Amino acid sequence: MLDHLRAADGPLSLAEIRHATGLGLREVADAVERLRDRGLVSIEREIDEVVRLTGR
């Protein structure tokens, strides 16, 4: 998932992450939550929730 975020030119929505990784919604949500807890990504609310890499 981090590789997809690094390769993207900006944040990705949860749906885009699901499509890119082939994971289900629950697996994506759990992985994003773990990455957020580690300070590697932030979750922002735009039109949809998007995941953005942090500066770490």
The CATH number linked to 20 is: 1.10.10
pTM for the complete prediction? 0.79
Which comes out higher in pLDDT, residue 17 or 2?
17
Average pLDDT on 44-56 reads 80
Q: What pLDDT was estimated at residue 9? A: 80
Residues recorded for the chain: 56
Domain carrying residue 49: 2-53
Reply yes or no on whether the pLDDT at 7 is more than 70.
yes
Give mean pLDDT, residues 8-36.
92
Cβ-contact 38, 53 below 8 angstroms: no
Structural domain total, the chain: 1
CA–CA separation, 39 vs 23, rounded Å? 22
Quick check: 54 and 41 in contact, CB under 8 A?
yes
Contact 31, 24 (CB under 8 A): no
